[in-house]
Amino acid sequence: MSAEPATAWVVGTFDTKAAELLYIAGLLRAAGLRTVTVDVGTRSRAGVADIAAQEVAGHHPDGAGAVFNATDRGVAVIAMSQALAVLVRERLAAREIDGMLGVGGSGGSSMIAPALRLLPIGVPKLLVSTMAAGDVSAYVGVTDMTLMYPVTDIAGLNRLSRTILANAAHALAGMLLHQAPADDAQDKLAIALTMFGVTTPCVQAVRELLTDTFDTQVFHANGAGGRTLEALAASGMLRAVVDITTTEVGQHLAGGVCDAGPNRLDAAARHGLPWIGSVGALDMINWGAPPSIPARYQGRTFHVHNADVTLMRSNAQEMQAAARRLAEQLNRAAGPVHLLLPLGGLSMLDAPGQPFHDPGANAAFFDTLRRLFKPTADHQLTALPCHINDPAFARAVADTLRAVLSTK
């Protein structure tokens, strides 16, 4: 007996884009997928989509009137987005959505993207959006959403739009019809590691030491990477966090461009996930090209990383602020915490002869951590007389993780 075909949702405003959405749905059905069309138009007539706009709007906590009785279009759009999110959560729980494709301009994209972000990591989610050529971070968040730019506005079928919309339909079909090949990583415990370019030797060495037992997932500590790690930790998809590069904590406090927000370290603080980490790259704050650096930082020590990234050496006050935040988050963690301090330096640039070598600032930082971190039976701080990128430090990290998880 053959398996049931996967279910693809096609979502958009059928009051303005019915021809395009039905074209996509037809291609998905021709590919062998069960296809459900969903209308989020605020002025749609009934009977066009499988799930009508009235049914979607009825999932709003205040009823369909929150959408259709709104006198302001912006209010109606926001209400419809909220209603769609409730509907998607409900159908996901019932296992009735295997993938989703949305189509929209600015308003449609803002309505559909929050629902797409509700789909778990790995579930296909694609948005054809006129906004895809700009900053898409507000739409994507920290998910694996695929965005496609339609080149023209989404305003009828023509030679160009048919080609692009067909590419979108077939892309979703390909994702649903062809699963990732299974490998031995499926049987390993998933752990997260955090890395910056200046802590790469350490992270690579730790990976090599752990890859026989663990499925190691490395996150770039550039702001988005930290937010993604925290989201995965909250979802229960990780067994532990090896947080070697906590630079995002300092970036957030100083306003640097690699800011992961105030919830960094919640994997430990809120979710009780075993946390084995360090203080990698907390000796620096990231900015863009030199003209983008705030004027108040004139006179500081800078290092040009590339044409678009300028690094600033963190001073003692900034590092002490980061130490306070680290200690605060780690002290309230429900699970095991092992903080390893590399007394010989925090990054490639923080070593004798390198531009960010500042033993005085580091000493103030380490002293603050030692004073504020509260050791317990399963909350430990260990200072090591080596640089973060020394092989001995990587071995200590790997050994600590193995010891922690062997007892849990």
Q: Which residue has the higher pLDDT, 61 or 268?
A: 61
Distances (CA, A) of 135 to 147, 229, 257, 260, 307: 11, 21, 15, 17, 20
| Residue 404 predicted with pLDDT over 60 | yes
Look at residue 247 in the predicted model and tell me its pLDDT: 98
Torsion sign over Cα 94, 95, 96, 101: positive
pLDDT band of 184, cuts 50, 70, 90: low
pLDDT in tens, 24-44: 999 999 999 999 999 999 887
Look at residue 313 in the predicted model and tell me its pLDDT: 98
Look at residue 269 in the predicted model and tell me its pLDDT: 87
* Cβ-contact 215, 191 below 8 angstroms: yes
Look at residue 153 in the predicted model and tell me its pLDDT: 84
Tokens of 275: 């946390």
Q: How far apart, in whole angstroms, are the C-alpha atoms of residue 401 and residue 326?
A: 19
Q: Where are the domains of the chain?
A: 7-177, 184-286+313-406
pLDDT in tens, 294-328: 999 999 999 998 888 999 999 999 999 999 999 99
Look at residue 407 in the predicted model and tell me its pLDDT: 63
7-177 belongs to CATH 3.50.50.60: no
Q: How far apart, in whole angstroms, are the C-alpha atoms of residue 363 and residue 84?
A: 52
Look at residue 32 in the predicted model and tell me its pLDDT: 96
As a whole number of angstroms, the longest Cα–Cα distance in the chain is 72
- Rounded to a whole number of angstroms, the CA Rg of the chain reads 25
Domains 7-177 and 184-286+313-406 in one fold: yes
pLDDT in tens, 211-252: 999 999 999 999 999 999 998 888 888 999 999 999 999 999
**What is the pLDDT of the chain when averaged over all its residues?**
94
Look at residue 58 in the predicted model and tell me its pLDDT: 97
Architecture of the 184-286+313-406 domain = 3-Layer(aba) Sandwich (3.40)
Span 4-33, average pLDDT = 96
